[in-house]
Structure 1
Amino acid sequence: MSQPVSLQRRLGIGLTLGVAALWLVATTLTVFIVQHTIDRTLDSSLEETAQRILSLAVVEIFNRESSDLLQQVASLRPHEEYITYLVRGANGIPLLISHDVDLSVFPETPQMGLRSTATHRLYGTSAVSDTFFIEVAEPLTYRHRATREMLAMLLLPLAVLVPLSLAGIWWLVRHSLGGLLAYRQALEERDAGDLSPVEAPRLPAELVPVAVAVDQLLARLRRVLEAERSFTANSAHELRTPLAAALAQVQRLRREAPPGPLQDRAWRIEASLRELSRLSEKLMQLAKAESGGLLVETPQDVLPVVIHVVDDFRRSYDTRLELSLPKEKQIVSSIDPDALAILLRNLIENALKHGREDRPVEVAVSSEGVLRVINAGPVVPAEDLVRLTDRFTRANSRADGSGLGLAIAQAIATGSGATLTLISPATGRGDGFEASLWLPP
């Protein structure tokens, strides 16, 4: 998926290209207009030059002793001749030419009016009842050079205008979109659990309804989540007392009942009540995990929490737990210690329930702040692995459980900025299951 292009970049590049395109269009039109004006002016000068030279040439030819001789006008000083001319008689014989003339430029017979060849612009006219003809030639290279110089002078400011326009438009767009950029930054900086209204100072009027709609959606979502968490927490809390009372009564009934079906039925009821009590405890943990407040202002060492939780489990599961700690004295993190304890308990409970009973569960903390809980056992299929963090989802296992342990761990990891990764088979093994937690620094 391609990365989205920012509005600031779109406006900056679009407006700059638009200014450059308009400048090029204006330059092109200007070149055509000015070139047309130059051609008209030079054509008029060509006509005026031809008529002026012809009148002088006729007088000079009439004053000769022999009017049929070809005479070349001498140059007073060396110079480049831009306009050359050829005067002919009625029979087409050249009578007078300029000093730097190229006769191949002119046609064999005189032609009247303006015309162009591949290299020259020509003008021809006659005098004395079409007995004398003159043709004046001007190289087109001079006109082309003038056009190129004019085009260069018009395009030269564009080399300065484009960077200045880009800088100016970029600054103006950034200044105008300052409120929108601040709004985007405010959205990027908040985590997934922050559903408070988004502050939007200096937001453009066109986007104010969007910000209002976002705040209304967040408020509605916040009320729904708070109602769900409150119901979950209150329900679990209210169930604890009657469940404890019912469990005590069933335990007493089981002890007083004579051996037989009644005692077996009381034992099954006690097991169901214990499972219901554990589910109630899990629901309370889930409500705490989703309620926010999973970070502390002052980062603390997490190793004492890990050691305490592991020791607590060792008293119940004997030697099935192996703890590996880094050589560093401290691993500092901003995660709430209570939240970390709940998370680690759920990961260890999941490993003990679903791992092989003849193999220990490994709890390891690396110097990079990575907490791993590894258990031996069958490989979990990839399609089941991606669903294990969903609520009430369990892999193909016969072990008891509510399917909330990994969901609680994932909720705490997400709310605290940590990263929980489930791997099967475990790293460096051919089987087993690994839960890897990257603690927030």
Structure 2
Amino acid sequence: MLHSLQARLAVALAVGLAALSLLVGAAAFHVLQDEIDRISDSALQETAQRLVPLAVTDILDLNTQGSTGQRVAAVRAHDELLTYIVRDQTGKTVLQSHDADPGVFPADLKAGFTSTASHRIYTETVLQGTVLLAVAEPLVERRHVSTRAALAVIEPLLVLILFGLVGTWLIVKTGLRPISLFCEGVASRGRDDLTPLAKAGMPTEIEPIADAVNDLMQRLDRALSAERSFTANSAHELRTPIAAALAQTQRLVAEAQGTPIEQRARNVEITLQTLVRLSEKLMQLARAEGAHVLSDIVQDLRPVLQLVVDDVRRIARSNQLALTQPDEPVLSRIDQDAFAILARNLIENAVKHGTDATAVRITLTSGGTLSVRNRGPIVPSETLARLSQPFERGTTTAKGSGLGLAIVNAIAQAAGARLTLGSPAAGMPDGFEAAVEGLAIPDSPPVFRERVR
């Protein structure tokens, strides 16, 4: 089954062209066959009429000499295409051409045309019907002429069909090129590029499709903007009251030391701290799903990653972070803040869920791949497949909201990169590895590298 519109149109037009060409060829051959028969009959009749006076003269000479059934001798040896006989009023053959076969000529010939299984015969009568002259032409000769005429029609027709098929394909391909360009324009859009499609030079038949797609993208953009705005505003507005409630709770914990309500106050403090982290993650997710991940400025990712690692070391009070970076700049168009959010979530996730007292290995390659590995239990493959979705968590007792890897995945997609998860980690018997590939600009020009240095 053909699923391509271009293929369907090309095949339909090609089949139609071939059928029409064959129909025209058949009609032309039929007309040509009739014309061959008409011309051959005319030549047969003309030959007979020219032979009549010669035959009468020969007959009179033969009667004078008393001879009958005489064959006319050939000037030189040859095969006769047309043969003839002359009969008298009794039906006796009195004269015949040198190759004539009397059996070819029926006994009851009458003036005019007669057809047998093998010959076309024309008969003339003279001298008041006392002399009959019949000229015969083999039908096989007419078939040979018809065959040659058919080949003369079919050969150029086949060439015409061949060129017609190629021309049809090119015409269909050229005619549908605007649709291909339209599809390529839609496919080449970035993840968050919902700007209207240009309709300049677009065929009239495609404009309604473009209008419908533009309208759909506008509605989708409004819906996504409203969702992101709600998420960001909600998280932002919650920060102040949660911070105030947390401060009051911390003060209550200090005042309630040694009393029965101290533990309950500490439980409230832990819950409020969880809400603070959740609101921060929601703001990061809204930022990651926004349209400000890429920057117009090419920048080196190494200093940003170094700052993030140092900050996580300070907060976690741990020196178990092993950072490996190339000596040359890793140039990228990803926004520095977006990359910092991505790197922080990967590193914090590794520190939080890794085995205690084991190093978290952070590697940034010159090709633009950031990988973070830690030691710990192997994560099942079915769990890996859903960890990049919001609020999805594996089997762990560590605190968290399930948004870290979702934020990383959203930023990676918006930057044209790809997040891959693996367990066990590469080069380890266990553990977990998260890698973001495609952050750097491919084949960065040397001028950019010198400028960054």
> Does TM, normalized by the shorter one, top 0.5?
yes
How far did 1:4 drift?
Answer: 5.2
How far did 1:288 drift?
Answer: 0.5
How far did 1:423 drift?
Answer: 2.1
Q: Which residue of 2 aligns with 1:339?
A: 338
Taking the TM superposition and a 5 Å limit, the aligned residue runs for 1:55-134 are 56-64=54-62, 65-75=65-75, 81-87=80-86, 95-99=94-98, 101=99, 103=101, 106=104, 113-115=113-115, 117=117, 120-123=118-121, 125=123, 127=125, 129=129, 132=132, 134=134
Q: Does 1:320 align with 2:320?
A: yes
Classify the secondary structure of the residue corresponding to 2:209: helix
Stretch of structure 1 that moved more, 187-196 or 279-288: 187-196
Q: Which residue of 2 aligns with 1:163?
A: 163
Unaligned 5+ segments in structure 2 are 442-453
Measure, in 1, the Cα distance between the counterparts of 2:145 and 2:322: 89
Classify the secondary structure of the residue corresponding to 1:248: helix
How far did 1:164 drift?
Answer: 6.8
Retained in 1: the 8 A contact 2:288–2:407? yes
Unaligned 5+ segments in structure 1 are none
How far did 1:149 drift?
Answer: 3.7
Classify the secondary structure of the residue corresponding to 2:389: coil
Measure, in 2, the Cα distance between the counterparts of 1:253 and 1:365: 45
Retained in 1: the 8 A contact 2:69–2:96? no
Q: Figure out how many residues of one structure are paired with residues of the other and give that number.
A: 433
**Distance change (3 Å), C-alpha of 1:92 and 1:357:** farther
Q: Which residue of 2 aligns with 1:387?
A: 386
Measure, in 2, the Cα distance between the counterparts of 1:19 and 1:367: 58
Which digits, 9 at most, give the CA deviation of each residue in 1:352-387, with x for residues without a partner? Answer: 222322432221223332221222233333332222
Q: Does 1:354 align with 2:353?
A: yes
Q: Does 1:223 align with 2:211?
A: no
Taking the TM superposition and a 5 Å limit, the aligned residue runs for 1:18-57 are 18-54=16-52, 56-57=54-55
Q: Does 1:303 align with 2:302?
A: yes
Percent identity between matched residues is 42
Retained in 1: the 8 A contact 2:300–2:329? yes
User: TM-score, normalized by length of structure 2?
Assistant: 0.84
Q: Which residue of 1 aligns with 2:408?
A: 409
User: TM-score, normalized by length of structure 1?
Assistant: 0.86
Q: Which residue of 2 aligns with 1:189?
A: 188
Q: Which residue of 1 aligns with 2:239?
A: 240
Measure, in 2, the Cα distance between the counterparts of 1:216 and 1:151: 59
Retained in 2: the 8 A contact 1:365–1:371? yes
Measure, in 1, the Cα distance between the counterparts of 2:2 and 2:294: 32
**Distance change (3 Å), C-alpha of 1:291 and 1:90:** same
Retained in 2: the 8 A contact 1:424–1:434? yes
Retained in 1: the 8 A contact 2:85–2:100? no
Which digits, 9 at most, give the CA deviation of each residue in 1:8-63, with x for residues without a partner? Answer: x5545543553343223212211112212221331243244335435532441232
Letter of the structure 2 residue corresponding to residue 269 of structure 1: V
Stretch of structure 1 that moved more, 350-359 or 133-142: 133-142
Classify the secondary structure of the residue corresponding to 1:206: coil
Stretch of structure 1 that moved more, 57-66 or 409-418: 57-66
Q: Which residue of 1 aligns with 2:449?
A: none
Classify the secondary structure of the residue corresponding to 1:199: coil
Letter of the structure 2 residue corresponding to residue 204 of structure 1: P
**Distance change (3 Å), C-alpha of 1:116 and 1:188:** farther
Which digits, 9 at most, give the CA deviation of each residue in 1:126-152, with x for residues without a partner? Answer: 646576463412353454335434542
**Distance change (3 Å), C-alpha of 1:239 and 1:153:** same
Measure, in 1, the Cα distance between the counterparts of 2:131 and 2:276: 129
